[in-house]
Amino acid sequence: MSGLLGTNVITQIGILVHDIDKTSRVYADFFGMDVPPAILTDAPEIARTEFEGAPSPARARLAFFDMGSLQMELIEPDEHPSTWRNDLNEHGEGVHHIAFQIAGMAEKISVLEGKGYALQQKGEYTGGRYAYMDTAPDLKVLVELLEND
Amino acid sequence: MSGLLGTNVITQIGILVHDIDKTSRVYADFFGMDVPPAILTDAPEIARTEFEGAPSPARARLAFFDMGSLQMELIEPDEHPSTWRNDLNEHGEGVHHIAFQIAGMAEKISVLEGKGYALQQKGEYTGGRYAYMDTAPDLKVLVELLEND
């Protein structure tokens, strides 16, 4: 494995939705699971979200379903600028990203930028951080890097 | 687990592409893997493909990458009517479906149809069969059923 991420294990599929409560109920019924709580991402002073290089107050409500070895993440963004809001406005509901658990966020972002993949959005959450890299032109899907402490 | 499929384990993510040779090389470089061969789906007399209730001679070239516990499937469809060609024309390159390994194809299709999920396309391959069910309005992604003998 000499890939750019140091891993090829997909840990999450992210899906943009307009109404997370409604779609969570549909998923729970379809797959015979409990409806998970929708979690609001951290406030801007904790998340320190940057979208296209500028700070953004954007937040989202998230719901997670365990689907075998990976999670389905439903994402209902607010109206502030973000990769989530932009994609939802441009492409409608559907798959937003696939995620990989990596080590060494700053270095991985740098490696990917060196290969021409721009950092689209990054932020912090309790216990870790994330970055969306604009791999869509090449891989036909957005890649999210996740690093937990 | 009393879900509709009898499983919630995602075994495959399918991605539509215009040029499977080019995108396979990109995936191989990105993830540090070998370029897999692109496999042409079976001829119509074997595949017995039905799209929206009518036989279709549609075929596709497929390439598979092992990504942890699931496969990424790249799909380059031909020009004949299919879920692949329609989605590629309408939405461009990107995620087409998530797949689940199920048992009892006819019964599962019937259960899903009973819940309002239409059969979009089905066909055979050596050793098994598949069906795409139109779950996108509800789940925001298309579900493929796979049954291997």
CB A135 within 8 A of CB A111: no
Assign A69 a pLDDT band (cuts: 50, 70, 90). confident
pTM of this prediction? 0.96
Q: What is the ipTM of this complex?
A: 0.95
Q: How far is A45 from chain B (nearest CA, A)?
A: 32
Q: Which of A72, A140, A142 to mutate to test the interface with B (most CBs of B within 10 A)?
A: A140
pLDDT in tens, A102-129: 999 999 999 999 999 999 999 999 899 9
Tell me the two tokens of residue B18. 């215009």
Interface membership of A116 toward B (CB under 8 Å): no
The answer to whether the CB atoms of A27 and B139 lie below 8 A apart is: yes
Chain A environment of B141 (Cβ under 8 Å): 15, 94-95
The answer to whether the CB atoms of B30 and A69 lie below 8 A apart is: no
Query: If you search the block for the tokens 């479906």, which residue do you land on?
Result: B97
The answer to whether the CB atoms of B138 and A30 lie below 8 A apart is: yes
CB B67 within 8 A of CB B74: no
Classify residue A111 as exposed, middle or buried by CB count within 10 Å of its CB (0-12, 13-18, 19+): middle
Domains in chain A (CATH in brackets) are 12-148 (3.10.180.10)
Question: In this complex, which of A68, A94, A140 lies closest to B141 when CB atoms are compared?
Answer: A94
What letter represents residue B45's amino acid? E
CB B122 within 8 A of CB B56: no
pLDDT in tens, B12-43: 999 999 999 999 999 999 999 999 999 999 99
Q: Could you tell me where the beta strands, DSSP code E, fall in chain B?
A: 10-16, 39-40, 50-51, 54-55, 60-67, 70-77, 94-101, 119-125, 128-133, 142-148
Max CA distance (Å), chain A: 44
